[in-house]
Structure formats: C-alpha cells, structure tokens
Structure 1
Amino acid sequence: MSSIPDLSRATWVKSSYSGGNEGQCLEFAPDISVTAGVVPVRDSKNPASPALVFSADAWGSFTAAVRAEEFPTA
C-alpha cells in the first residue's frame, strides 16, 4: 500500500466538473498524482480540511463512471 504523500506543497486545481458557485467544488493535485501514483482530492470551499487520497486506478474508474453518467443525479 502506498504511503500518503506530503500535500503541504501540492498545487491544487479545481475540477472542470465543479459546479461554479453552486457549492459542489472539488480540487485535485495533479503534480502529486504524477509523482506518487495517487490522486489527492479536497473540498475547495474548505481547503484546510483533510484531503481524500485515492489510488490512480480507483480514481480513473470513478471519473469514467461519472463521465458515463452511471450515478443518479436526483
């Protein structure tokens, strides 16, 4: 299992799927994703809160399911 990378110097990028000012804002750290093979994700409205860290494979499966609209929206 991978150790959790140091996120103190991560560069966070807002997801293109985040809903603007609608309260559904997600950020990820692509620089960490490339070097550590994991994808850190956080709530952009509360950047001091803990980040969730997913394996690159798990994150890829999740984002593919989102793009395919496999999750209910209501």
Structure 2
Amino acid sequence: MKRQKRDRLQRAFFQGYKVGVTGRSKDYCPSQDVNIREQWMSGWREGRGDQWSGMTGISGIHKTPMAY
C-alpha cells in the first residue's frame, strides 16, 4: 500500500520546530517559497519558545512529531 504524500506545509512546520527547539538559527530555513518559509518560521518560533521554556529532552517529547 502506498503512503499518502504528506502536506508540504505541515512538514515545513515540523522541520522548523525541530531546528528551533535545538537552538539553531533561523538561517537554516531551506526554502525560498513564501508559504513554505512562513510555515517553517512559525515552527521555528514555536520551537525556540519551547526551548526557552525548558521543553527540551524528556520534558518536550510530547511536542516532537512522530512521523517525521
């Protein structure tokens, strides 16, 4: 059975979140497409906020995406 293609915007959000929660710079955004970059930056901001709140490691495991 084929897997359905994942939504590109959702994938960009989760990739941005992972970069943000690890403390890396927003310069790691791989896309120049406005819509994808916007979602990536939203994920990055949420990830940075979680990192600043101490939601890293085991305490933040519930926020990490499982399928990506």
TM-score, normalization: structure 1?
A: 0.28
Bigger fraction of residues in strand: 1
Bigger fraction of residues in helix: 2
Higher relative contact order (CA 8 A, sep 6+): 2
TM-score, normalization: structure 2?
A: 0.29
